[in-house]
Structure 1
Amino acid sequence: AKVVTGTVIAGSFSVGQEVEVQPVGLRSRIRGLQTHGQKVQLAPPGRRTAVNLTGVAVEELERGMVLAAPGWLRPATVLDVRLHTVRYLRRPLRHNITVTFHTGSAEVEGRLLLLDRDEVPPGEAAWAQVRLAAPVAAVNGDRFVIRDPNDTLGGGRVVDTQARRHRRFHEATIGKLEAMERGSPGEVVLMAVAASEPVTLRELASGLDLAAVEVHSAVEATIESGDLLALDGQPLTEGTLLFSAAGLAALTDRMTDSLTEYHRQSPLRRGMPREELRSRLRLDSRAFDQLVALWAGRGDVKEGGGWVSHPEHEPHPDAGQQKRAGELLAALRAQPFSPPAPKDEDDLLSYLEDRGDIVWVDEGIVFASEAYREMVERVVAHLKERQTVTLAQVRDLLGTSRKYAQALLENMDQERITRRVGDERVLRGGVNR
């Protein structure tokens, strides 16, 4: 048996159901299902799910494959698409360029052929055909994104997954594609969001040939159907950030993969720094903060103190690391106010800091927590009695060196316990220690 994970995009899965792994066409049966670590009999759409498959070998599965009901998906290598270039594109998108094609969690190299023009300026739409180096599992209406090694170029909707090779600038071909693509305002809105997500309602309305009231109504209806998500909830405003359900599911998978890899490389750390995860996902701060809140609310992540982690991750030092942690704490406690500089073992120090055993005040300067508290209490007591304290006085008060006294005082300034006035420190107003 093999356990695979992903997000249910449409329909549902149930224990005992026969499924097909595409684009390779493997048949299997579902032995078990889990969502958020809990065994379930049914996995509904939108839920990140672990699926235990029978009769499938590990080496037969790759990232980007899709589970579906038998016969529902056909492998695709030539796809007709409606392409929207991103507004911030640095130069027009040209015909017959090499791109990386992303749909769902699949990522395949291919060539982009423009069918109705020679180039597409930033923020405009065109008919195109994508010819892939390897098959993907896709259906008509699926959202996609194309990138080059440096930038996101655009995205849109797959119109025909079983396309033939076309002549360029062929009126009958373009007419057929337009007829296939023509849909309701809701479908137009969904395609436009998927091409540039996340996008604000204001940006969406400005880029569509629809009345503002029509866009607003279509967005509300598409949210109601579950195909679109407003990150900051209702009521809708011009600044509301919109995501397609499929795009959010793919981004959630990327986020989970990033955290899993980080935990594998840094098992002692509580989580990935928020800014590092935001950078990996290529999101601005506003969208990222709202997404993390959404993921945390759904149980997809844990967050706090500037970090984000997989919900089931807990730092687990091995026997050797536990021994080294004990040795390090003993060394710090043996010289509490002048501790030895730790070796190059940042992960272990982060683990001890998260656990509350140490206070990391500066590069190369770490105090045992109880020593740090005692030092702060002595300095605060001195200040309450004499109102001011100098670096030399702190050094003598603690029987330590200038280096440690200075690091302590700078840390107390940062923690807003004290503030510097010339060469002296005073207690900040309202401090009661």
Structure 2
Amino acid sequence: MSRPLRVAVVGAGPAGIYAADILTNQHPEASVDVIERLPAPYGLVRYGVAPDHPRIKEIIKALRRALGKPGVRLIGNVDYGRDLKLEELRQFYDAVIFATGATEDRDLDVPGVDLPGSHGAADFVSWYTGHPDVPREWPLDAQQVAVIGAGNVALDVARMLAKPVAEQMTTEIPANVAAGLAANQATDIHVFARRGPASIKFSPMELRELSHSPSVDVHVTEEGFQVDDAGQAAIAASKGTRLVVDTLLKYLEAEPTGAPHRIHIHMCQAPVEITGDGRVEGLRTERTELQGDGTAKGTGEFIDWPVQAVYRAVGYRSTNLADIPFDDANGVVPNEGGRVLDLDGIQVPGVYVTGWVKRGPVGLIGHTKSDASETITHLLEDLDALPAPARPEPSAILEHLAAGGTQPFLWEDWERLDAHEISLGEAEGRERVKVVDREEMLRRSKA
């Protein structure tokens, strides 16, 4: 018989849930508690995917099966670093896996970045996905908007700003988001990429979806549509890159339909300053020129764009965790194959990472699964050396939380909240309507 194993996974997004699923599949005597700070599971799949992308959210069905299986227990509404510390977790678990992801915006180091009207894309995404810990209102009074970035988050932001709210009322957006989008004044959204079409990180499907709204025209600016030797090689090597370039070409050649909202994609434009007196009044970019090796160099030619809001979609970043080493330069927990290392490069016993906090915010769901598999393999290799917890019984952690005044959110609570959100959606002919307020989430989960 294999050794009984108690493991805590901190973070109930895909990375954490896959780690729990793989561990319980590979080690029948393992039991896993997935500890989540929100009163809802699924992480960025729930709070990072645009509401008009139901196909992407199909992954929730797989996550639900994994999180609801025997041997896996959800303990939500518990904030690591506040409600629990590492030394406390060690009392109850043989090992701890951190899967806290990357939820903050990466810095953009240009003058004017702190002006009112300059927004982090992650904050906007949290607002329109109904995250319980962000303000309920969002300023949407700008007619001309800049989005800085060349990834799918930039496309999501641009599409959410361009698409009329009437076209989004089949989705799960809550009432406050619908009201905010109804007041949106944006007519032109300008998306800026530093390099050319072969370097853009859009997925082909998301790029094609920009034109699915009859209220939105997509324009690609001919100037900056450069493909160098490295770009040609990327197109030849990757079907995805080829499809992105082909789609951009179609937008470049398309005739305007006269739609009331427009998304403009500008390539080889690097942001150098957000301008304005007291608030955002413009964005200054520098034209860049491809160097043949995939890099771009500034030309010294600058353009001022009269925009009233700027969204910075230049990537996500993980945040440091209490009592855990953190590589601030790279925004990850230092590790070797998921084994956490201290500042001297020595393995920290019984502590592991997986997902974006392990490798940085790159890759898709498939990468998350392979990440988790690698981490679990190394954890099981270390099994005999793991220090046994003093209080391994499953009830001990719940008793500890209750003694500290923390009300945990369990799987049966999620099932009640889930059913309530679905019922709200049914009343409006939608699949679901999210509950936004944290206290209401907790109240509905106990009803």
Pairwise TM-score range, normalised by the shorter structure = under 0.3
TM-score of the aligned structures, taking structure 2 as reference length: 0.22
* Bigger proportion of residues as strand: 1
* Higher RCO structure (Cα 8 Å, ≥6 apart): 2
TM-score of the aligned structures, taking structure 1 as reference length: 0.22
